[in-house]
Structure 1
Amino acid sequence: MGRGLATALLATSLLLVAAATIADNVVDGAADEPLVRAEIHPEDRLSAALAAMRDGRYAVATQRLAQLLSIEPNFRLAQLLYAQALALRSGGRVDPPPANEDDPRLGALLAEYRNRSDALRALPAPGLVPSLLMKLSDQIGNVLVVDLGKGRAYLIDNNGSGQYVVRNLYAGIGRNGYGKRNAGDLRTPVGIYRVTGWMDDDQLPTLYGAGALPLSYPNSWDRSLGRTGSGIWLHGVPTDTYVRAPRSSEGCVTFSNNDLLSLRSQLRVDSTPVILAEQLDWVPAAQLDAEREPLLKAIEDWRSQGEITLSDLSLFAYPGESGLVLAQFVQNQTGDNLASGARTDQYWRRQDDGAWKIVREMNR
Structure 2
Amino acid sequence: MIHRRTAVALVASPLLLSGCGAGAEAAPSRSDDDRPAPTTAAPTSESNTPRPTGIPGLGPRTAAAVPGHAEQVVVARGRGRNSPVSSVILYERDGGDWQAGANWPAHNGRDGWSEHHMAGDLRSPVGVYGLTDAGGLLPDPGSRLPYDHGYGFRSPGTGFEGEPLEGSFDYVVAINYNRRPGTSPLDWTRPMGAGRGGGVWLHVDHGGPTHACVSIAKAHMKQLLRTLDPGRHPVVVMGYADWLAQ
Contact (CA 8 Å) 2:117, 2:124: kept in 1 or not?
A: no
The 8 Å contact of residues 78 and 87 in structure 2, kept in 1 or not, is answered as yes
Deviations 1:179-217 (A, max 9, x none): 152112221111111123111224322342531111111
User: Which residue, out of 120, 133, 141, partners 2:63?
Assistant: 133
Task: Say whether 1:153 aligns with 2:79.
Answer: no
Matches within 5 A, 1:94-243: 128=56, 130-131=58-59, 132-134=62-64, 139-149=69-79, 151-179=86-114, 181-202=117-138, 203=150, 204-205=153-154, 206-218=166-178, 228-237=196-205
AA at the equivalent of 1:252: C
* One of 223, 228, 237 as aligned partner of 1:275: 237
Q: CA deviation at 1:135?
A: 8.5
8 Å contact kept, 2:109–2:214: yes
**Quick one: distance in 1 between partners of 2:239 and 2:221?**
19
- CA distance 1:250–1:128, change in 2 (3 Å): closer
Q: Residues 127 and 216 of structure 1: is their aligned pair in 2 closer, same or farther, counting only changes over 3 Å?
A: closer
Query: Distance between the aligned counterparts of 1:255 and 1:136, measured in 2?
Result: 22
Q: Which residue of structure 2 lines up, in the alignment, with residue 328 of structure 1?
A: none
**Distance change >3 Å, CA 227–CA 268, structure 1 → 2:** farther
For 1:268 and 1:187, the matched residues in 2 are separated by 28
1:145-165, CA deviations, whole angstroms, 9 ceiling, x for partnerless residues? 111225011211212141132
Question: How many residues are paired up?
Answer: 151
Partners of 1:138 and 1:160 within 8 A in 2 = no
Any idea what the Cα deviations from partners look like across 1:59-114, whole Å, max 9, x if unmatched? xxxxxxxxxxxxxxxxxxxxxxxxxxxxxxxxxxxxxxxxxxxxxxxxxxxxxxxx
The amino acid that maps onto 1:141 is E
1:263 Cα deviation from its structure 2 partner? 0.9
Instruction: Determine if contact 1:178/1:187 at 8 Å carries over to the other structure.
Output: yes
- Residue 220 of structure 2: which of 259, 262, 272 is its match? 259
TM-score computed with the length of structure 1 as normaliser = 0.36
Correspondences of 1:289-308 after superposition (within 5 Å) = none
Q: Distance in 2 between matches of 1:168 and 1:188?
A: 20
Assess, with a 3 A threshold, how the Cα gap between structure 1 residues 225 and 162 changes in structure 2: closer, same or farther: farther
Higher CA-based Rg: 1
User: Aligned letter for 2:178?
Assistant: P
Contact 2:179 2:198 in 1 (8 A): no
The one-letter code of the counterpart of 1:189 is P
Residue 175 of structure 1 aligns to a residue in which SS? coil
Shift of 1:259: 0.5
What is the one-letter code of the residue matched to 2:77? D
User: Alpha-carbon deviation of 1:176?
Assistant: 1.8
| Residues 1:158 and 1:280: Cα distance change in structure 2 (over 3 Å) | farther
Does the residue aligned with 1:133 lie in a helix, a strand or coil?
helix
> Which protein, 1 or 2, shows the higher relative CO under an 8 Å CA cutoff with sep ≥ 6?
2
Q: Residue 181 of structure 1 contacts residue 227 of structure 1 at CA under 8 Å; is this kept in 2? A: no
Q: Which runs of 5+ in 1 are unaligned?
A: 1-125, 239-243, 282-318, 323-364
Report the RMSD for the aligned CA atoms in angstroms. Answer: 3.4
Contact 1:136-1:158 within 8 A present in 2 as well: no
Contact 2:90 2:102 (8 Å CA) reproduced: yes
Instruction: Looking at secondary structure, tell me which structure has more helix per residue.
Output: 1
1:128 to 1:186, Cα distance in 2 relative to 1, 3 A: closer
User: Post-superposition shift, 1:141?
Assistant: 2.2
- Structure 1's consecutive aligned runs of 4 or more residues displaced over 6 angstroms after TM superposition are 135-138, 222-227
Distance 2:169 2:117 in 1: 26
1:193 and 1:219 in contact (8 A); partners too: no
- Cα gap change, 1:159 to 1:133, in 2 (>3 Å): farther
**Structure-2 separation of matches of 1:187 and 1:224:** 17
